[in-house]
Every structure is written in structure tokens, then in C-alpha cells.
Amino acid sequence: MSGHYRGRLAGVILRPRLRARAFSLVEALVVLALAGVLAGTAAPGLQQLLQAARLRAAVNDLCSAIDLTRSQAIARGRIVTLAPLEPGGVDWRRGWVVFVDANGNARPDGGEPVLYRQEALSDEIVIRSAFTSGAVPLYLAYNAAGRSCSAGNSLVAHWGTLSLLQGQQARHIKINMLGRMRVCDPLVQPVGCTAAAEAD
């Protein structure tokens, strides 16, 4: 070997190569058992996160439909209605529809323009509503001034609460008599955030 390479290797200590160590069956089983325990403790937390995400998406979809109803009523200068898509007009969970309610019956009839249609939600989500008029079909309507009103009379106020529930989590969409909307979480804001079933 030349002196050049000998000089560079002079300070290097050569060590014997270590053999790769394999896991025994017992060690592998212990690791799998620990992984199972960790996965089991993380599963409830993951389930809650998924439920919260589904609930948040449903609330956002419904709030967007409310905003669309109000803005379209102002833009068109007439009553626009948001109502459950289900034929009886009761079950919000089966989706909802925003439409120009020409005859004031709170149902989308033939010839009435449909502005938006939301498909059914997850079966795990429950939606309850309580409005100043508890009559069926359920609905939320806005007049040309952007105020919540009766489907058949733009001068009669009609407001209330839509509550979305999933498991232990809930969000309440509160619409006041001026048509303004706010969303609250009863766990964060226990005062002034009553559920639809509890609303007067």
C-alpha cells in the first residue's frame, strides 16, 4: 500500500462487523400486544374526532344553505324558503332544499325554481328544529329585506333554532327575528345556547 493511503488509514480503528440480531417470537408478541393496547386506547379519541368532523361538515352545509336562502331572497326581492327535502317536510336529516316558494306552502312544487339541494346526512346525525310556528312542514324563509318570515306572509316573523346532534356533541344554529344566524356549542357556551327541544 502506498504511503499516501497508509497515512490516511493510520488513525482508523477497524472494528469487527456486528451481526444483525433477530427478534425472538416472544419479543415480537410483546411488541404486538403493546401496539394493540395503544391502538385500543387511541380508538375512542379517533372516533370522537371523526364524529366532530362529520358534525362540523353538516353544520357548515346547513349554515351555507341558510346564507344562500337569505341572500337569494334579497337578490330576487321575494320570499325564498329552506325546507327539509323529505316529502313530509319534517326530517332535516334526509337533506334540504332552497327554493322560490311562489305559493307560500313551504314545499317545493313543480315550476318553483330550486336553487340548491342537499342530499341526506349520515344516520348518526340528528337534526331537531323549534320555530315560532311549530306547524308542519318545517321551514325557514326569508323576505326581500333579509328577515326571517312566514312562508306565506313576508310581514310575519318566523324564527327559531336548528340543533344538530351526534353522540355527546351538539351544535345549535340560532336564527333571531331579524334573520341573523349564529352557531353555538352548549359545552362552551352553556348560557344562551339552548337546544331546539328546549327552546320556547
Check residue 35 and give its pLDDT.
77
Check residue 32 and give its pLDDT.
82
What cell does 36 get? 394493540
Confidence of residue 167 (pLDDT cuts 50, 70, 90): confident
Residues 176-187, mean pLDDT to the nearest whole number: 93
d(CA 128, CA 70): 21
* Contact (CB, 8 A) for 146 and 73: yes
Check residue 118 and give its pLDDT.
95
Judged by DSSP in three states, 37 sits in helix
* Burial (CB count <10 Å: 0-12, 13-18, 19+), residue 157: middle
Structural domains of the chain, with CATH: 25-184 (3.55.40.10)
Check residue 138 and give its pLDDT.
94
Single-letter residue type at 105: N
Check residue 199 and give its pLDDT.
42
Confidence of residue 26 (pLDDT cuts 50, 70, 90): confident
